[in-house]
A = this chain, B = another copy of it.
Amino acid sequence: MLPQGLIDALIDRLGADRVLTDRDALIPYARDWRGQFHSTPAAVLRPRSTEQVAGAVSLCAQAGVAVIPQAGNTGLVGGSVARSGQVIVSLDRLTAVRSLDIDNDTITVEAGCILADVQRTAAAEGRLFPLSLAAEGSCRIGGNLATNAGGVNVLRYGNVRDLTLGLEVVLADGRIWDGLSGLRKDNSGYDLKHWFIGSEGTLGIITAATLRLFPALAQRETAFIAVPDPAAAVRLLGEFRRASGDNCIACELLPRLALQLVCRHIPGCRDPLDEPAPWYLLVELASPAAGEWLADALQMVLASGLEDGDVSDAVMAGSLDQAAALWRLRESIPEAQTREGASLKHDVSVPVSRLPAFVSEAGAAVTRAMPGVRVCAFGHVGDGNLHFNLSQPPGDDGDAFLARADEAGRIIHDLVATMGGSVAAEHGIGRLKPAALRRYRSPVAVELMRTIKRALDPDNRLNPGAVLDREP
C-alpha cells in the first residue's frame, strides 16, 4: 500500500487515469513473461511525457518509494518485477517518434516505441534500423536500451548500444539529463549514455533515444546449411564474412534436435533438406548495394564447403516466402521446446573460437550429471552467443527436472567462466542472475558496479534488487 498523500500527489501530477491501483488494471504489468516471478506493484504509473516521468520519480523519491521502470514487459530475467510497496513506471505511453533526420541517418524516438514500429518508420524512408529479435512486435525500445538488446543482426550491426547516439534519461532524484544527440563523434567529456545503456533501469530511466539508421538492404540471400559440427560452422562463418565483403548479417546455429522439435510441434514447419544432419546453419547475406554478387558469394562458399566436408547439403531461399519459412524454423525453437515439455535455459556467450569446445564439453558435462537430458544449444554463432537449453528426458517428471535448475546452471556457467565467457549474454541479469553476477564477475568488477550504483542512486530507489542484490 502506498501513502494516500503520494497517490493524491501522483494523480495531481499525471491525471487520475494514469495512476493505476485497481488490481485488475495492474495485471498486464505484473505478469512476468516466463512466469518465474510474482510481481506485486502497489501502483502502475503511465506518464505521457518525460516531464511526467520526472515528476513521478521525484514524488516517489520524496516519499521513499522505490520505482521499477517497465517498457514492453517482454524481458526474460525478471528485470521489471515489483515487490509490495513498489511502483511500476510504465513507459508505454511515451510512443512518439520525435524526429527523423534523413541526411544524418538518425531517428529520435521515445522509450515506449515498439521496436517493429521503429523498423517500419525507418523502412518507409528507405532506411534500415537493424535491431531485430523475436519479441520485436511487442518489446519497446526503452527496454531494448535498458538491457542492451542483441538479437540476430549483431554480427554486422552490433548490439543496440552500438546503434545509439544519444539518450534522454530521468535520474534517481527526478532530474532530467537531456543527452539526445545525433553526433557520430563527440568527445566532450565522459560519454554518459553508456552508463545507462544496459544498466536495466537501476541507474536512471531512459525516456528517449537518438538511434542510427543504415541504408536499406537491396540484396538478401538466405540459406539453410547442413554442417557436421560447430567447428565447421565457425569456419564457414569466417568464409561467409570474407566472401560477402563482411555482409553476413546473421549466422544462426541449430542442432538436429531443434529442427526435430520445430517440425514436430509447429504447424507448417518441415525439414527443408532430404537427409538428416547433426547441425545446421541459417545464414543471411545482405547488402544495400544492388546486384547479384551476394548469391555468387554464397554459392562459392557452399561449393567449397561441400568439397572440403564442412557442408553436407544446403538449400538457398528462392523467394522472400522461402526465406521467411527458413527463419520460422529458427524462431520457433523456444515455442517448440516449451511444447515438448520442461526446459532449462541458459543465455551464455564464449569467444567464437571456443564455441566448438564449449558445445562439446558442456553437452558432455550435463549429460553425465543428468542422464537422458536433451541438449538444444542454438543461437548466434557470429557472436559466440548460445541459448544452451536443456529439454527434459522424455517421459520424466517435468517438475523434478526443473528442480535441478541450479545444478544445471552451475555446470554450464562454471564451464563458461573457464572459457572467458559470459553467463548473461543478451538477456541481462534482472532478478534471475544477481548471484551469478557476484559469482562469476571479479570482486573488483562487482565493487566498481556498487560504487557507481551508490553514486547515481544513493538511496537505492531505482529498480532495487535488479542487477545488484544485497550480499547474502
Contact = CB atoms under 8 A, between A and B. Distances in A.
Contacts of A349: 183-186
A238 interface: yes
Interface string A445-468: 110110110111000000000011
Interface stretch (A58-66, A153-161, A364-372): A153-161
A472 B385 CA distance: 50
Nearest to A300: B290
Main secondary structure of the interface of A (DSSP, over half): loop
A215 interface: yes
B104 A352 contact: yes
Contacts of A198: 187, 190-191
Contacts of A192: 445, 448-449
Contact of A422 (B183, B433, B444): B183
Given A183-B350, A293-B293, A352-B104, A188 B448 contact: no
Given A148-B187, A198-B191, A104 B159 contact: no
A142 to B, nearest CB: 16
A457 to B, nearest CB: 11
A440 B242 contact: no
Interface string A345-368: 000011111100000000000000
A289 interface: yes
Oligomeric state, in number of copies?
2
Nearest to A243: B289
Given A106-B351, A352-B104, A191 B194 contact: yes
A190 B353 contact: no
A147 interface: yes
A327 interface: no
Interface in A137-165: 147-148, 150, 154-155, 158-159, 161-162
B184 A154 contact: yes
A460 to B, nearest CB: 15
A106 B352 CA distance: 10
Given A186-B425, A349-B186, A242 B289 contact: yes
Interface in A379-434: 380, 382-385, 420-429, 433
Nearest to A291: B293
A67 interface: no
B195 A424 contact: no
Nearest to A425: B185
B189 A234 contact: no
B183 A351 contact: yes
Contact of A103 (B234, B433, B448): B234
A176 interface: yes
Contacts of A241: 215, 288
Given A182-B420, A383-B184, A454 B452 contact: no
A102 interface: yes
A103 B353 contact: yes
Contacts of A161: 191
B384 A188 contact: no
Interface stretch (A20-28, A29-37, A244-252): A244-252
A444 B175 contact: yes
A80 to B, nearest CB: 15
A189, A422, A455 — most chain B CB neighbours (10 Å): A189
Interface of A: 101-106, 147-148, 150, 154-155, 158-159, 161-162, 171, 175-179, 181-192, 194-195, 197-199, 203, 214-215, 218, 234, 238, 241-247, 287-289, 291, 293, 297, 349-354, 380, 382-385, 420-429, 433, 436-437, 440-442, 444-446, 448-449, 451-452, 454-456, 467-468
23 contacts: A104-B351, A154-B184, A154-B185, A159-B185, A176-B444, A183-B425, A184-B349, A184-B385, A185-B349, A188-B424, A188-B441, A189-B424, A189-B445, A190-B199, A190-B449, A191-B197, A192-B445, A192-B448, A195-B195, A242-B288, A247-B289, A452-B452, A455-B455
Given A189-B429, A191-B194, 5 more contacts: A154-B185, A159-B185, A177-B445, A185-B383, A189-B441
